[in-house]
Amino acid sequence: MLDNYQKSQPIAYRILKNAVSKDKYSHAYLFETNGFYDSYNLIFSFIKEILCKNINKETHNPQKCNICRMIDSGNYPEIEIISPDGMWIKKEQLRKLQNEFNKKAIIGNTKIYIIKEAEKLNKQSANSMLKFLEEPEEGIIAILVTDNIYGILETIRSRCQLIELKESKKELSVKNTNNKLSLILYNKEELEEEEIEKIEKVIKFINYYEKNHLDTIIYMQKLWHDYIKTKEDMLYAFDLMILYYKDVLNKISNRDIEIFDDYEKEIEEVSNKNTITEICDKLNILTDFKEKIKYNANAKLLMDKLVITLEGR
Ligand SMILES: [Zn+2]
């Protein structure tokens, strides 16, 4: 039930519930998940409110309701889900979707498509996506989902209603996998010395790379591998780099530095060397490479390739 998110996601809840009560929906929503662990459940709760006309009746039993059961089991014919095929969401995938949507609905009169990891729309597929969004058809609702809002083209972003989810402190500690990161985000003073040192190393690495580019590869052992050893360290270090570049983006856009205010001088230097587009590209590359770490990639190869990819953008 959408009502389950009233406390944890009050703003998103208000916007979505309001749409439900008026039965008036945007033709496109862009969910920025911000790492909220329950994002897809929230999104599907919203979808159920759109599609199941009985959901708010007292007699409604989700275990017995055909519509809700079909949605839960992934068999509702008017919902299409698109995830990246490899690195990107491809144009052909959207073409197939378009064909699907030209057919008449079997149930009801609303069709919904969900684009997972929408930041992975490449140039061509983003263009066909734009056509979708520019000429919205009656009864079709698009739901784009991303945890990297900077990877979404402005032209797409501006045509969607943004639903920003927040990752709250409580959820972080429940999840417990990202504890160190939560300390940086919320309780910097509680960090241990060893942690602070690790953060310094990662930031030194970025600053070294920004000055020396490909030469970074020669000193990779000293700059990186001597400190970042386990897979957990790698994931953590990538999160740090992503947060750091987000702060660079804040600086370029004349917004406040959110996290690394101790490194204002360094952030300014990096921001002077990059355009907004370049930083967004770098954020995308880092997000992609972070995914690769999860699949047991060889750390040494991966880091060399990261520098090469960042240079060859
Ligand atoms: Zn139902």
Instruction: Give the residue extent of every domain in the chain.
Output: 2-167, 173-311
Q: How far is the CA of 56 from the centre of ligand 1 (A)?
A: 8
Q: How far is the CA of 120 from the centre of ligand 1 (A)?
A: 32
Q: How far is the CA of 46 from the centre of ligand 1 (A)?
A: 12
Among 184, 180, 185, residue whose Cα is nearest residue 168: 185
Inter-residue contact 112 to 78 (CB < 8 Å): yes
Q: How far is the CA of 68 from the centre of ligand 1 (A)?
A: 4
Q: 131: buried, middle or exposed (CB in 10 Å: 19+, 13-18, 0-12)?
A: exposed
Whole-number pLDDT of residue 175 = 38
Residues with pLDDT less than 50, the chain: 169-177
Whole-number pLDDT of residue 226 = 93
Q: How far is the CA of 61 from the centre of ligand 1 (A)?
A: 7
Whole-number pLDDT of residue 271 = 96
Domain spanning 2-167: CATH 2.50.20.10: no
Whole-number pLDDT of residue 171 = 42
Whole-number pLDDT of residue 255 = 82
Give the CATH architecture of domain 173-311.
Answer: Up-down Bundle (1.20)
User: CA 20, CA 14: separation in Å to the nearest integer?
Assistant: 10
Whole-number pLDDT of residue 214 = 95
Whole-number pLDDT of residue 109 = 87
Whole-number pLDDT of residue 296 = 72
Q: How far is CA 304 from the centre of its chain?
A: 25
Q: How far is the CA of 138 from the centre of ligand 1 (A)?
A: 23
Q: How far is the CA of 142 from the centre of ligand 1 (A)?
A: 21
Whole-number pLDDT of residue 108 = 87
